[in-house]
Amino acid sequence: MPCNTAGGPLQLYCSEHINATLLANGDSLVIQIDTFDYVPTEPLDASVDVTYVSLDQTIAYELDWDPLAARWSIDISAGPDDPVEIVVQPFEAPGACGEVYRHVNGIRFVRTEVATYESSCLP
């Protein structure tokens, strides 16, 4: 796809462009951030801060792009076990053509039962 870098950063707002889930399967914890309707060029990998609210701890994780599913994923399996509440902080990811994808809102995940999390957008 040809590059088109006109304009500033592409602003992605949680409530409009993002669907986020935290998949818990045994020892594996992976956050998936699906995008609805944009991705003109493939974003490059970046990092994102994840805050473990109950532990008052923030860890930087790799932010991986899956072009087939049009989603970012964050593998937090190496972090604290069985977190109660976590927040994915707002992030920026560079695109292959020099553009910037800016996720404006944080995303909160709260454990509702074993291996089950509900997500919500932060302002």
pLDDT for residue 1? 46
Question: DSSP string of the chain?
Answer: ------SS-EEE-HHHHEEEEEEEETTEEEEEEEE-S--SSPBPPEEEEEEEGGGTEEEEEEEEEETTTTEEEEE-TTS-SS-SEEEEPPEEEEBTTS-EEEE-S-EEEEEEETTEEEEEE--
Number of Cα atoms under 13 Å in the Cβ half of residue 48: 32
Residue 5, pLDDT > 60, answer no
pLDDT tens, 50-86? 999 989 999 999 998 887 887 889 999 999 988 999 9
Higher pLDDT, 18 or 34: 34
Nearest to 83 by CA among 108, 120, 47: 108
Is domain 10-121 given the CATH code 2.60.40 in the classification?
Answer: yes
Q: What is the pTM of this model?
A: 0.85
pLDDT for residue 69? 81
